[in-house]
Amino acid sequence: MAIRIDGKLVSAYLREQIKKNVTALKEKTGVTPGLAVMLVGDDPASAVYVRNKHRACDEVGMYSEVITMPADTTEDALLVRLADLNNDPKIHGILVQLPLPKHISEEKVIAAIDPRKDVDAFHESNVGKIMLGSYDFLPCTPAGVMELLHYYDIPIQGKDCVVVGRSNIVGKPQALLLLGENGTVTICHSRTKDLATKTREADILVVAIGRPNFITADMVKPGAVVIDVGINRLPDGKLCGDVDFEAVEPIAGAITPVPGGVGPMTITVLLKNALKAAQKSLK
């Protein structure tokens, strides 16, 4: 039976360390790391994510502000508010909760965040730095996956790593981070031919596609490490991942559950990035 990779446990451990570092920073410099989260519109899932981020900041002793704007906010109004945050010395990290309403260009908004405050690492200058291998911030979800692999001492060097999904938020940066640690990386997507042949080669399989229970046992090499980034809500309201957990757990070497695997790590890395942004602002 596979080792169950416990994202709640790793998260609690890392958040404790972040809390200590926040306290030390406050004592030494008087600076409290501050995160601003912007929420435009009334998407209920986004509202839950934003609330969780706000609460997580509180728990580690960071300052946080939630800026809620109505769904009919104009792009200009959002950019003006963003410019205020860019210039606000209490705020070291800015996160704009996606998706934005259709009439607002996500690209334009992300480009308007001061890269030094871009704790999601979505700004092109941060994306470019990750590509070059010297970065300030890492994107929260793929970096969270790396934290899990490190915590469980899972070797990456020389391993066949298969990432299913190539979004800018998860799949692409995930592949770069695994490559950065000397994994041999294959990226798969919706046009990949014979996906199962590729996934069966993986020593480390990371799946981020948004399709409930898509990866079945016959697509996984026995003993593989399976990281499920997917979060899907089933008609009965339950959450499930992109991997058929029940079927894959008996053959995998290690596996993340959903919920309780990658999910908690995303906010943890966000806190880590906000702390780093505050530390860097002093230099």
Residues acting as catalytic residues: 53, 97, 120
| Angstrom distance (rounded) from CA 214 to CA 269 | 27
CB of 145 to ligand NDP, least distance (A): 9
Q: Considering only residues 10, 95, 188, 255, which one is a binding residue for ligand NDP as defined by CB under 6 A?
A: 188
129 binds ligand NDP (CB under 6 A): no
Query: Which residue's entry shows tokens 């939630």?
Result: 66
> Is residue 170 involved in binding ligand NDP (CB under 6 A)?
yes
Quick check: 103 and 73 in contact, CB under 8 A? no
Spell out the residues 6+ positions from residue 74 whose beta carbon is closer than 8 angstroms to its own. 103, 104
Of 103 and 189, which has the nearer Cβ to ligand NDP?
189
Instruction: Fill in the DSSP letter of residue 243.
Output: B
The position carrying tokens 């880590």 is 272
Q: How many residues bind ligand NDP (CB under 6 A)?
A: 25
Nearer to ligand NDP, 11 or 141 (CB): 141
| Binding range to ligand NDP, per CB under 6 A, among 69-77, 123-131, 202-210, 272-280 | 202-210
Residue 142-161 contact track with ligand NDP, rule CB under 6 A, x = bound: --------------------
Measured between alpha carbons, how far is residue 200 from residues 80, 165, 280 in Å? 49, 16, 42
225-254 footprint of ligand NDP as x/- string (CB under 6 A) = ----xxxx----------------------
Task: Give the count of alpha carbons within 13 A of 152, CB side only.
Answer: 25
Q: Whose CA is closest to 206, among 239, 154, 236, 242?
A: 242
Q: How far apart are the first and last CA of the chain?
A: 48
At closest approach, how far in Å is the CB of 97 from ligand NDP? 12
Q: Which residues bind ligand NDP (CB under 6 A)?
A: 141, 164-167, 169-171, 188-192, 195, 208-211, 229-232, 262-263, 266
